[in-house]
Amino acid sequence: MGGAHGRRVVITGVGVTAPGGHGTKGFWKLLTDGRTATRRISFFDPSPFRSQVAAEVDFDPELSGLTPQEIRRMDRAAQFAVVTAREAVADSGLEFAALAPHRTGVTIGSAVGATMGLDQEYRTVSDGGRLELVDQAYAVPHLYNYMVPSSFATEVAWAVGAEGPSTVVSTGCTSGLDAVGYAADVIREGSADVMIAGAADAPISPITVACFDAIKATTPRNDDPQHASRPFDNSRNGFVLGEGSAVFVLEELESARRRGARIYAEVAGFATRSNAFHMTGLRPDGKEMAEAIRVALDEARLAPQDIDYINAHGSGTKQNDRHETAAFKRSLGDHAYRTPVSSIKSMVGHSLGAIGSIEVAASVLAMAHDVVPPTANLHNPDPECDLDYVPLTAREWKTDAVLSVGSGFGGFQSAIVLASPDRAGAR
């Protein structure tokens, strides 16, 4: 993406709030243990719904460092974003006081914003759906911040003291990749030196469960929640809703090196393309995702054979897993068969806009540890999904360059290439 003469962007801090483990460490342990965090929904009684399982985060906002007023004014997803951003900044070793506010920006991805708060508030102001003319007297005072999810970016900016370019990126289920790609471009063009970039979603709410029930996108495997998310398995029958956040500190490479920062990876290439086909449907050929991958590799100046690991979208719907398997073959050729591919959605579910960033976190941790996470619950692969999906058990694997992809409602297809800066720099 910047090329030899341009500014290069690296990840120097990681924060994760994901189901099944506390912080980045708990997240990585869950993944490498191959455990799943999917369970019967506990936030509300799911029994009226077709799909009753989800991957929930055990999250205590007060123990996570939020003040009572922060908790009051923020929807759960915004709380995730702020807590996770603080972990990322702490991990980066950057001193808050040392950040130049006007050279620091924020990009937070979210597919459905404060949907949990909106669902609860609507129920109240409409008195259980009885009132068409809903009653403001029963609304939380911060309802406007739920309505417009750019409040997430504001909250993160306030938390870290950023005053540079700040926005929310909301491209459905590719939001978490697109937010990182967007932030990298902002640094590259010189509009900021540091970007706090990532994503958050907390969609486990009756309206979200109902809307995916209506199109049978989520799994009805309610009798076996722990094994409900089965990407690439022949028995897969839909995704499992999740929630969470991952946030990164992105920095310009040279300034990161000057301060002796730990560099997880370079954001070496990124692209998004649309299928212009259907709001929820995918054509089996994977053509547009393959194009996004091709462009991202090109920007990274890497060849297909340079990719050591593919972090798949792997949602566990029938159409998705075939679609992206086709896209990997189309873009990487024979190398697709030699490359480990895995879906962490098998363990942490599909947190819509957040998951892209959570998968970037898994990707850079794979690089840091030279271990690739497995695809849990994969016992009988779909014959049409014939790549190496790292079934059940994490694998020690030299990992210097990772491709991570996402596919979202609206037809969005995104690909990001993360690479060791030395490797990418040697190109």
Of 148, 337, 398, 422, which lies in the binding site for other proteins, with binding defined by CB under 8 A?
148
CB of 188 to other proteins, least distance (A): 9
214 binds other proteins, rule: CB under 8 A: yes
Stretch that binds other proteins, among 107-115, 241-249, 392-400, 419-427 (CB under 8 A): 107-115
383 binds other proteins, rule: CB under 8 A: no
For 147-274, list the strands marked E by DSSP. Answer: 166-169, 194-201, 241-242, 244-252, 265-274
CB of 226 to other proteins, least distance (A): 24
CB under 8 Å to 87, separation ≥6 — which residues? 14, 15, 16, 17, 23, 24, 247
Cα 8 off chain centre by: 22
Q: Which amino acid is at 386?
A: D
Site for other proteins, residues 6 to 65, rule: CB under 8 A: 48-49
Name the residue nearer to other proteins (CB basis): 8 or 395: 8
278 binds other proteins, rule: CB under 8 A: yes
CB of 20 to other proteins, least distance (A): 25
Name the residue nearer to other proteins (CB basis): 171 or 342: 171
Of 5, 102, 142, 173, catalytic: 173
Q: Which amino acid is at 381?
A: P
Q: Tell me how far apart the alpha carbons of residues 335 and 157 are, in angstroms, rounded to a whole number.
A: 41
Q: Tell me how far apart the alpha carbons of residues 28 and 38 are, in angstroms, rounded to a whole number.
A: 16
Active site residue 278: no
Of 211, 278, 313, 369, catalytic: 313
Q: Tell me how far apart the alpha carbons of residues 311 and 306 are, in angstroms, rounded to a whole number.
A: 14
Active site residue 313: yes
Site for other proteins, residues 234 to 253, rule: CB under 8 A: none
# binding residues, other proteins (CB under 8 A): 85
Of 142, 350, 369, 379, catalytic: 350
- Contact letters for other proteins, residues 73-102 (x by CB under 8 A): ----------------------------xx
165 binds other proteins, rule: CB under 8 A: yes
207 binds other proteins, rule: CB under 8 A: yes
Sign of CA dihedral 371, 377, 378, 382: negative
Q: What is the DSSP letter of 201?
A: E
Stretch that binds other proteins, among 21-29, 148-156, 315-323, 378-386 (CB under 8 A): 148-156
DSSP letters spanning 71-99: HHHS-HHHHHHHHHHHHHHHHHT--GGGS
Element (H, E) at 369: helix 355-369
Of 43, 73, 134, 319, which lies in the binding site for other proteins, with binding defined by CB under 8 A?
134
Rounded to 5 degrees, φ, ψ at 105 are -125, 180
Quote the radius of gyration of the chain (alpha carbons, Å): 20
Name the residue nearer to other proteins (CB basis): 314 or 408: 408
Q: Tell me how far apart the alpha carbons of residues 425 and 93 are, in angstroms, rounded to a whole number.
A: 24
* N-term to C-term CA, the chain: 12
Name the residue nearer to other proteins (CB basis): 141 or 383: 141
420 binds other proteins, rule: CB under 8 A: no
Q: Which positions are catalytic?
A: 173, 313, 350
